Structure 1
Amino acid sequence: MTDFSTPASAPALPRAVPLSELTGWLDSYLKIADFKDWSNNGLQVEGNSTVTRIAASVDTSQRSIEEAIASGANLMLVHHGLFWNKPLMVVGPHRRRLQAALDAGLSIYAAHLPLDAHPEVGNNAMMASALSLQNTAPAFGSASSVIGQMGELPYELSLQDFAERVQKLTGEICLVHGGGGGTGVQKLGIVSGSGAEFIGEAARLGLDTLLTGEPEHKHFHDAFELGLNVVYAGHYETEVFGVRALAARLEEQFGLPWQFLHLPTGL
């Protein structure tokens, strides 16, 4: 005999947050308007009017868009978006990426320099925290867009030991330029992604080591001539921290589930 005394509860509906509310909060939290950037930061693609699930990705690509859609997300947070300063013709791969997002109702929100710089969820702040950096302060960049961090390790490490510690953090085999001539690592600067241009600034700040993502040929000799160690840990792998931390912060704020799309480039 079927017991109807306790009706079965209906499955809970996923929380739906208006896209405008979510993007308004992001714009304010990341201080999007404060940055002069060659990325078009903020909401780049407007999809569904509500958000129930988030995907986070370093890059916007056909694969990241397809995986975001497959995950059930209707908002994708990215560090590298679809649009950069000058208009792009909507042809070829760019058209296919944009059309896939629009067809699925997937919104795309990009935060480039604002996510490098953020003191709580920024790429550089997250790496500084993971490396137990003390006495941290913002550094590197222009007055309107200071994006990096500087500080001191609790104790000096050999350059090799420091590189091994970074490798454990990022999973990337580091390229090490020992421009310090055997000096250890304690006074550290961090600039995620492409930060070789800041070698000179790191030396002027009295740092012994700069941690960044990828090298540039034109800056190769700078480290050795200025007496600075530089550890390159990969552009991609130094920029996974921000989008993950931002997605987790949105879960705290709005109760939305999220998923990180790990699509490494090896660069």
Structure 2
Amino acid sequence: MSNGPILRDDLVAWLGDYLEVSKFNDPSANGLQIEGRPEITRIAVAVDSSLRTITEAVESGADMLIAHHGLFWGQQQLITGAHYRRVRAAIEGGLNLYVSHLPLDAHPEVGNNAVLAQALGLENVEPFGSFRGQKVGVKGTLPLPLDLQGLADRIQKTTGEICLVHGGGPGEVRRVGIVSGDASSNLPEAAREGLDTFITGEPRHATFHDSFENGINAVYAGHYETETFGVRALAIKIEETFGIPWQFIHAPTGL
């Protein structure tokens, strides 16, 4: 463990290796999106790279903000309006912005889905949930069967979010899949794999009937709330490895 600052470039290289960023076909521009100060003594972590989280990271004295959702998504984007104000706030504050999207969903140790599965007590956890040919979620089994409402209550206590439950499957559940965020399109895949319940963040109108027509339960636990787990777990790992203090910037969206 380091007792002093770490060079930004060394931390970026470590993150790239640890999160296996290069193996993901991701619409997000994973990695360092904005370059700031060359030394890191404190970090902040957040789900979104909003003006609020960037400003709060600067005000907290952080040298780097690590976010799940970044500012750039693989296509041309003009630096004007609200987008300009976000970029300007980071640059004027000397703040590095590092982003990990799919790598932080899929990671087996600090990923959103792995950490949520651990919090819910799932066993025999393995990769699940295809996106662009990659498994970004997890599936596993509850140690004992649980009624659907009991599972929803457990999720709510874990995330702090009131869940929306579509009871298209059995009332007693045990085989559970998780893909955080916006993954309701994975419902048919979950049914094909014999799961009785699928947990994700937010529902879509286009997939509303998939739970009922495929005979599987869907629990929608909040896009934001299901994706707070990864950045916090990653921050703990960085503190354990390098001795760098951190804080989580809570900026819920209600979605």
| TM-score band, normalised by shorter chain | over 0.9
Q: What is the aligned-residue identity percentage?
A: 55
Say what the alpha-carbon RMSD is for the aligned residues: 1.0
Of 25, 38, 63, which aligns to 1:36? 25
- Equivalent residue in structure 1 for 2:199, among 195, 208, 211: 211
CA distance in 1, matches of 2:252, 2:205: 22
1:241 maps to 229
Select which of 239, 243, 251 maps to 1:251: 239
In our comparison, the structure showing a higher alpha carbon Rg is 1
The one-letter amino acid of 1:193's match is G
C-alpha separation in 2, matches of 1:136 and 1:71: 37
1:167 & 1:135 partners in 2: Cα distance? 22
Contact 2:140 2:176 in 1 (8 A): yes
Given the two structures, how large is their TM-score scaled by the length of structure 2?
A: 0.97
1:45-101 Cα shifts (integer Å, max 9, x gaps): 000011110000000111001100111001000000011110210000111110110
Deviation at 1:145, TM superposition (A): 2.1
Q: Match for residue 186 of structure 2? A: 198
Residue-pair matches, total: 253
Partner of 1:121: 110
Q: TM-score, normalised by structure 1?
A: 0.93
Q: Distance in 1 between matches of 2:173 and 2:230?
A: 24
The Cα shift of 1:143 comes to 7.1
State the shift of 1:183 in Å: 2.7
User: Which residue does 1:5 correspond to in 2?
Assistant: none
Unaligned runs of 5+ in 2: none
Larger RCO of the pair (alpha carbons < 8 Å, separation 6+): 2
Instruction: Measure how far apart 1:185 and its partner are.
Output: 1.4
* Separation of aligned partners in 2, 1:252 and 1:239: 21
Q: Report the Cα offset of residue 144 of structure 1.
A: 4.6
Secondary structure of 1:15 counterpart: coil
Alpha-carbon distance in 2 for matches of 1:211, 1:189: 6
